[in-house]
């Protein structure tokens, strides 16, 4: 059975609903998203957290659609274009502002669905989170064991729930290993190719109401990065894991190709507190 792995990464997409930080007008939202200092931080996290792991996948057979607006300021729009020339797995979708966020995400993803695939493994890749370098490999391989369950409703999710939470503020970056139930990162939604839905169509915190699921927590599979520019910054339901003498810098480098010292220095240089969100870091 052929499983297509298809992800969506929204980079400062200018649109209507779909986020917890709201604005009274599209002009106000554009000013917020395209603020030069904010875009500088967003690109830094994207380049140093998200890209290293996704580009180092042990199974390179996947597509990641990078979704943004056609008026994203330079040099960031050109940088996204350049990425598509460096990595064939990366595709760029320029979507004009749309009020219905689900429709906008579908407009970005739908052209890249392989109609010949038996199953599409949709995943959501936020632009400041990371997946382990073997995420695609396991998401495709593990589906074989889950296929009988998928056949019942022809929809299924797999939650790789063990990961690392990194909290960044003016004092640097703290690392906490954690199990998070159905976090947005490390969550795969398996659907038939003819279904007009993406991972975004199923809110991750209540996805169990939409389909059966499987949880796998034996290996570190994601990095959830909490920083000043998070939309909400909630950790989500779950629990911290006991720690010993782990070398988190070595683990981050090995599993995610992330340099902890670089992130720590950047957090201090940006000099920002935790985000002013009611449940940031909780």
Does the pLDDT value for residue 42 go beyond 80?
yes
* Cα-only R_g, the chain: 18
Q: Is 258:252 a contact under the CB 8 Å cutoff? A: yes
Q: Which of 142, 189, 184 is nearest to 163 (CA)?
A: 184
Q: What is the pLDDT of residue 278?
A: 57
The neighbour count for residue 231, using CB atoms within 10 Å, is: 13
* Coarse DSSP helix, strand, coil percentages of the chain, rounded to the nearest 5 percent: 35, 25, 40
Tell me the per-residue pLDDT of 135-144, one tens digit each, with 9 for 90 and over. Answer: 999 999 999 9
Q: Tell me how far apart the alpha carbons of residues 130 and 80 are, in angstroms, rounded to a whole number.
A: 17
For 91, list phi and psi in degrees, rounded to 5: -125, 150
Residue 15's pLDDT band (cuts 50, 70, 90):
confident
**Model pTM?**
0.94
Question: What totals of helices (H) and strands (E) does the chain contain, helices first?
Answer: 9, 12
Q: Tell me how far apart the alpha carbons of residues 142 and 182 are, in angstroms, rounded to a whole number.
A: 17
Residue 29's pLDDT band (cuts 50, 70, 90):
confident
Q: What is the pLDDT of residue 274?
A: 67
DSSP at 23: -
Q: What is the pLDDT of residue 144?
A: 96
For the chain, the first-to-last Cα distance in angstroms comes to 40
Q: Is 264:271 a contact under the CB 8 Å cutoff? A: no
Q: Where are the domains of the chain?
A: 3-270
Q: What is the pLDDT of residue 26?
A: 84
Tell me the per-residue pLDDT of 243-268, one tens digit each, with 9 for 90 and over. Answer: 888 999 999 999 999 999 999 999 99
For 121, list phi and psi in degrees, rounded to 5: -90, 95
Q: Is 272:167 a contact under the CB 8 Å cutoff? A: no
Q: Is 171:270 a contact under the CB 8 Å cutoff? A: no
DSSP at 201: G
Tell me the per-residue pLDDT of 90-106, one tens digit each, with 9 for 90 and over. Answer: 999 999 999 889 999 99
Q: Tell me how far apart the alpha carbons of residues 66 and 93 are, in angstroms, rounded to a whole number.
A: 6
Q: What is the pLDDT of residue 124?
A: 97
C-alpha 75, offset from chain centre: 22
* Strand spans (E) along the chain: 3-10, 63-68, 90-94, 119-124, 130-131, 156-160, 162-169, 172-180, 187-191, 213-216, 222-226, 238-240
Axis crossing angle, helix 260-270 with helix 248-256, rounded to the nearest 10: 110
Q: Tell me how far apart the alpha carbons of residues 206 and 218 are, in angstroms, rounded to a whole number.
A: 22
CA of 94: how far to CAs of 12, 32, 81, in Å? 11, 19, 10
Does the pLDDT value for residue 22 go beyond 90?
no
Q: What is the pLDDT of residue 23?
A: 58
3-270 maps to CATH 3.90.550: yes
Percent of the chain at pLDDT > 90 equals 83
């Amino acid at each position: 059975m052929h499983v297509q792995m298809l992800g969506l990464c929204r980079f400062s997409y200018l649109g209507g609903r779909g986020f917890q930080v709201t604005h009274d007008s599209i002009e106000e939202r554009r000013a917020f998203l395209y603020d030069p200092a904010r875009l500088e931080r967003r690109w830094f996290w994207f380049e140093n957290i998200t890209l290293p792991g996704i580009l180092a996948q042990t199974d390179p057979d996947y597509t990641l659609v990078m979704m943004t607006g056609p008026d994203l300021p330079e040099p960031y729009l050109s940088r996204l274009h350049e990425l598509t020339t460096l990595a064939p797995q990366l595709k760029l979708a320029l979507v004009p502002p749309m009020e219905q966020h689900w429709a906008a995400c579908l407009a970005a993803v739908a052209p890249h669905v392989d109609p010949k695939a038996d199953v599409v493994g949709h995943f959501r890749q936020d632009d400041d989170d990371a997946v382990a370098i073997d995420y695609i490999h396991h998401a495709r391989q593990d589906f074989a064991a889950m296929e009988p369950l998928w056949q019942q409703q022809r929809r299924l999710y797999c939650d790789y729930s063990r990961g690392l939470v990194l909290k960044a503020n003016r004092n640097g970056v703290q690392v906490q290993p954690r199990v998070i139930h159905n976090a947005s990162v490390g969550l795969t939604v398996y659907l038939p190719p003819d279904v007009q839905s993406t991972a975004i169509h199923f809110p991750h915190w209540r996805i169990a109401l939409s389909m059966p699921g499987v949880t796998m927590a034996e290996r570190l599979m994601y990095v959830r990065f909490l920083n000043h520019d998070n939309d909400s910054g909630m950790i989500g339901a779950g629990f911290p894991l006991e720690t010993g003498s782990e070398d988190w810098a070595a683990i981050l480098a090995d599993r995610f190709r992330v340099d902890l010292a670089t992130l720590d220095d950047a957090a201090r240089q940006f000099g920002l507190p935790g985000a002013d969100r009611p449940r940031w870091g909780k």
